[in-house]
Amino acid sequence: MVTNLLERVKETRRMLRQQIIETVLNQFDEHSMALDREMRREKYRTMMENPFRFYRGSAYLFYYDITKIPFSFHTPEDKPTWIQGDLHFENFGTFQNEQGEIVYDVNDFDEGYMGSYLYDILRMTISIALFCEAQGLSEGEQEERIKTYLSAYYKQLLRFERRKEDPVTLFFTKDNTEGPIRKVLKKLMKRQSNKLLADITFVNEDNRRCFIWSDEIQPVSSEERAVLEQAWEEYIETLDTEDRRGHMFYRIKDIARKHGSGTASIGLERYYVLVEGERDHLQLDDLVLEVKEVRTPIPGYFLPYNEQFWQKYQHQGERVITTQKAMHHHEDPYLGFITMNGRHFYVRERSPFKKRVKAKHMTSAKEIDSTVEIMGRITAKIHARADVDVQHELLTYHSEEEILRAIGRDFEAFCAQLVFSSMVYKQQVNEDYELFCDWCRKEFNIET
């Protein structure tokens, strides 16, 4: 009798959680994102690969849950931080800035918004636990990696507050990194700037460079080409005045549709545009720009409403590129935005030096530590930089001071709460992943 009652309790809890997962996914993927059934099947098939993929593709479920949990260390609602919005292990990477330096930094800004810094921190620490678990590390070892990240974040904020370092000028290259990140940066020093062009374009019989068609790079329709070409003048006008070149520099030579997007971006339109550019030391004068659709930021549905922010950034492409400019040292000089068929897009360079530090690069706890330590410092940098230092209208204070005030003097208590919460929610992600996979098999006939 007791066994039957216990099983009934377990099944009821399971069914209630499954209903929440289904409701949240249906609302955001079907209604907010307007994904059709085949797009959802593509996205969910990717999310079914492992719990970390599921976590990456369900940020709305994370915010639905986490914003209901009271934490002791939030900044006040009237002192928000400009947050990245979807901070996890795979949203860091390398690129070359306009000064020619290959740097390691955050590389995704689609969910940029205003809110408590804790949401970036928690999303990141949970991802560290999931990543380490996939690498076979014990729960104790996972907790130590989270502590390494939090300690690096806190100490870097203190250096900024004490003016020992400046978030506007601090950046991470092969000269001030170590471990797997430094190895990747050093390896990229040997990469030629023409590698991307060599990989995805060719020169045809008319001596004109064009895209090479593949599973990921496909031709566009004449209608798509006409719409993009018509909107291109709008893009040029959104470029910063100091970065803007002559119109011939941005002359379109070829357009391709880009497939194989990240987990959370499935269903959003993405294009590669080959433009004229200007000759460099390799005598190449072509440049690949990426045009990516963007929607309302997921945190915006759950965090306190910031009317000033919404009024200023009604165009979602402008919101994204402004987030990137606020958080990076020397932003991409090709950042701009356009509207096509009523949908918002942003434009950026497709960097030939884009690369992530992957799991295969980290074969020991020590190598993971050196990686998350730098990630912690970068997180502090993006939070401290995107305030009064670069944005005078929205944030009139130093974010590092407000965050340190919220953390208080007892860092150990702060660390203990976040480690505990991250490990508990990591287990929730694993349980949700199993429910999600069961639902996908039944509802979408997806087999793994």
Residue-range definition of the domain harbouring residue 213: 195-349
The fraction of the chain above a pLDDT of 70, given in percent, is 97
Cα–Cα distance measured from residue 353 to residue 8, given in angstroms and rounded to the nearest whole number? 55
Asked if residue 98 belongs to a domain, the reply is: no
- Give the H or E element holding residue 399: helix 399-407
What is the per-residue pLDDT for 394?
A: 81
> Mind listing the pLDDT tens digit for each residue in 156-175?
999 999 999 999 999 999 99
Cα–Cα distance measured from residue 8 to residue 233, given in angstroms and rounded to the nearest whole number? 63
Cα–Cα distance measured from residue 193 to residue 281, given in angstroms and rounded to the nearest whole number? 10
Could you tell me the CA-to-CA distances from 411 to 370, 414, 418 in Å, in that order? Answer: 21, 5, 11
Say how many domains are in the chain: 1
Q: Which of 292, 221, 280, 224 lies closest to 249 in space, CA to CA? A: 280
What is the per-residue pLDDT for 2?
A: 63
Lowest mean pLDDT among 29-38, 131-140, 280-289, 409-418: 280-289
Cα–Cα distance measured from residue 211 to residue 4, given in angstroms and rounded to the nearest whole number? 63
Asked if residue 262 belongs to a domain, the reply is: yes
Asked if residue 47 belongs to a domain, the reply is: no
Find tokens 């963007």 and name the residue: 294
The contacts of residue 418 (CB under 8 Å, 6+ apart) are: 73, 121, 122, 125, 146, 150
Select, from the ranges 185-199, 262-276, 349-363, 414-428, the one with the highest average predicted confidence (pLDDT).
414-428
Cα–Cα distance measured from residue 189 to residue 153, given in angstroms and rounded to the nearest whole number? 28
Asked if residue 164 belongs to a domain, the reply is: no
Asked if residue 343 belongs to a domain, the reply is: yes
Cα–Cα distance measured from residue 174 to residue 353, given in angstroms and rounded to the nearest whole number? 14
Asked if residue 418 belongs to a domain, the reply is: no
Give mean pLDDT, residues 208-216. 94
Residues 282, 197 contacting (CB under 8 angstroms): no
DSSP E strands, 97-234 = 102-106, 113-115, 201-203, 209-211, 217-219
The residue among 307 and 430 whose pLDDT is bigger is 430
Q: Which of 257, 214, 262, 293 lies closest to 49 in space, CA to CA? A: 262
Helix (H) and strand (E) counts in the chain: 14, 12
Q: Does position 363 have pLDDT exceeding 90, yes or no?
A: no
Asked if residue 379 belongs to a domain, the reply is: no
The confidence band for 392, taking pLDDT boundaries of 50, 70 and 90, is: low
Confirm whether pTM is higher than 0.85. Answer: yes
Could you tell me the CA-to-CA distances from 293 to 262, 263, 272, 296, 438 in Å, in that order? Answer: 13, 14, 12, 11, 31
Torsion angles phi and psi, residue 219, rounded to 5: -65, 155
Asked if residue 323 belongs to a domain, the reply is: yes
Cα–Cα distance measured from residue 197 to residue 211, given in angstroms and rounded to the nearest whole number? 9
